[in-house]
Structure 1
Amino acid sequence: MSELRKDYIEGFGGTRLAVHTMGEGRPLLLLHGLFSSAEVNWIRYGNARILAEAGFAVIMPDLRAHGESEAPHDPDAYPEDVLVDDLKRTVAQLGLADYDLGGFSLGARTVVRGVLAGLTPRKLVLGGMGMAGLSGWARRSAHFIDAIDRFGSIERGDPAFVAQAFMKTMKVDRVAARLLLTSVDDTPPDAIARVTMPTLCVCGTDDADNGSAEELAAALPRGSYAEVPGNHMSSVTFKDMGRAMVAFLES
């Protein structure tokens, strides 16, 4: 069975970022979603193992302010697109040249912006992401900032209740998370034409949190779409996610 390994690299401003790796073979760099971690999005429910057993070295950083990575409270640690900067530093420090790249939700948004900033993976995987999630980030960000600002007082039935519950479960550093949310930019729809590598948009049947993944796949020059069970929270818990990724990456 594939062993899980953990290392640390240096992100923007010297922030220490945890990087979890499983498997040997072709490098596949995967970013998790907001308030989550590599453990929750990729490892716990078996999708990293599916990919590792298919012959990939699955490299899974914890984003700054998440998981086992540092969560600085200094606003200077969160300049515009700091996650893209961290991603580029990860690729450089790990010496990745011929690799595949993917992400879920905030991770998907980050890898798209990484490609637009010059990264050149062979193939790209976008999980839980639609066109509206790329171009309408300001609205999504405001929703999560509101959940942080009202944390502890949000009652069941409130649109922010699920975000509050997830932050509690994940023990999110809300000061750092709030700063991070202000650093992420919208990606205009016309920029998608510059994402030219084969790209899989994989999304839960009941996940419309970031708009239509089918619409995004159709807008990408070499996009394809795969549907898996679940909603935005649960789709990563089904092994269908990992299997869809393997089928795409091996094609």
Structure 2
Amino acid sequence: MSELQSEFFAGWGGTRLAVHRLGEGRPVLLLHGLFSSAEVNWIKFGHAQKLADAGFEAIMPDLRAHGQSEAPHEPDAYPEDVLVRDALALVQTLGLEDFDLGGFSLGARTAVRAVIAGLAPRRLILAGMGLEGLAGWAQRSAFFIDAIDRFDEIKRGDRAYFAQAFMKTQKVDRVAARLLLQSVDDTSSAALAGVTMPTLVVCGSDDQDNGSAPALAEALPEGRYAEIPGTHMSSVTQRELGEEMVAFLAG
């Protein structure tokens, strides 16, 4: 069994970003969700280990303002699509040419936009994402910005209570997170025509946070849908997520 390796690379503008690697074999670049980390989404619940056991190398950055990566407070550090720029920088730094790509929630959104920006993975995995979510970032972003702005006054029963609790658990840098939220762009349904590689859309049975996952799979030229147990928060903890990822990539 290979050991987890962690290192740092220069993201867009020189921001110091962490990347964690597990396994030996075909590279799979995995992008985690908002307020999360590579540890929480991919490592803690065994998904990366399943990939490693199946002969893949899981390459898992902590997005800027997340995990062990830097969280700059300067607005200039968050231009439009900065997460896409960081992903492109990582692919270039590691010299990845023949690889797969996946993401959960914000990571899925970033993966789609990275493909539209020119990345060409062999296969693509979009987890915790639906069709409406790709084009409706403004509304979702506004919810989280509101939670940040009212952070100290949110009480149990408030619609933002669970977002506040998750930010507390993850020790989110709220200044950096607020700037990052404003850097993310929408992706129109028409733009999905450019996502031509085989794509797995995998989503919890009770997860409607980002709209319809089956509709997203239907809208993609080579999309397929897999349902796993859970809500948006709990589906990433389910063993079925890693199992579906391995089955798709190894198929």
TM-score (norm: length of structure 2): 0.99
Unpaired runs of at least 5, structure 1: none
Question: How far apart, CA to CA, are the structure 1 residues paired with 2:5 and 2:238?
Answer: 23
Provide the secondary structure at the position in 2 that maps to 1:211: coil
Provide the secondary structure at the position in 2 that maps to 1:200: strand
Match of 1:163 in 2: 163
The residue type equivalent to 2:206 in the other structure is: D
**1:162-241 matched pairs, under 5 angstroms:** 162-241=162-241
Q: What is the root-mean-square deviation of aligned Cα atoms in Å?
A: 0.6
Provide the secondary structure at the position in 1 that maps to 2:60: strand
Matched, 1:10 2:10: yes
Match of 2:123 in 1: 123
Provide the secondary structure at the position in 2 that maps to 1:139: helix
The residue type equivalent to 1:215 in the other structure is: A
Question: Could you give the per-residue CA deviations for residues 171-195 of structure 1, whole angstroms, max 9, x where no partner exists?
Answer: 0000000000000011111111110
Question: How far apart, CA to CA, are the structure 2 residues paired with 1:110 and 1:219?
Answer: 17
Question: How far apart, CA to CA, are the structure 2 residues paired with 1:47 and 1:10?
Answer: 26
Question: How far apart, CA to CA, are the structure 2 residues paired with 1:2 and 1:244?
Answer: 22
Count, aligned residues: 251
The residue type equivalent to 1:80 in the other structure is: E
Q: Which deviates more, 91-100 or 151-160? A: 151-160
Q: Which deviates more, 229-238 or 151-160? A: 151-160
Structure 1 segments, 4+ long, off by >2 Å, are none
Question: Could you give the per-residue CA deviations for residues 194-236 of structure 1, whole angstroms, max 9, x where no partner exists?
Answer: 1000000000111110001000000000000011111111111
**1:70-81 matched pairs, under 5 angstroms:** 70-81=70-81
Q: CA deviation at 1:239?
A: 1.0
Unpaired runs of at least 5, structure 2: none
Question: Could you give the per-residue CA deviations for residues 143-189 of structure 1, whole angstroms, max 9, x where no partner exists?
Answer: 00000001021122222111100000000000000000000011111
Provide the secondary structure at the position in 2 that maps to 1:152: helix
Question: Could you give the per-residue CA deviations for residues 104-137 of structure 1, whole angstroms, max 9, x where no partner exists?
Answer: 0000000100000000000000000001110000
Provide the secondary structure at the position in 1 that maps to 2:57: strand
Question: How far apart, CA to CA, are the structure 2 residues paired with 1:95 and 1:157?
Answer: 48
TM-score (norm: length of structure 1): 0.99
Match of 1:98 in 2: 98
Question: How far apart, CA to CA, are the structure 1 residues paired with 2:54 and 2:40?
Answer: 20
Question: Could you give the per-residue CA deviations for residues 3-33 of structure 1, whole angstroms, max 9, x where no partner exists?
Answer: 1000111001110000000000000000000
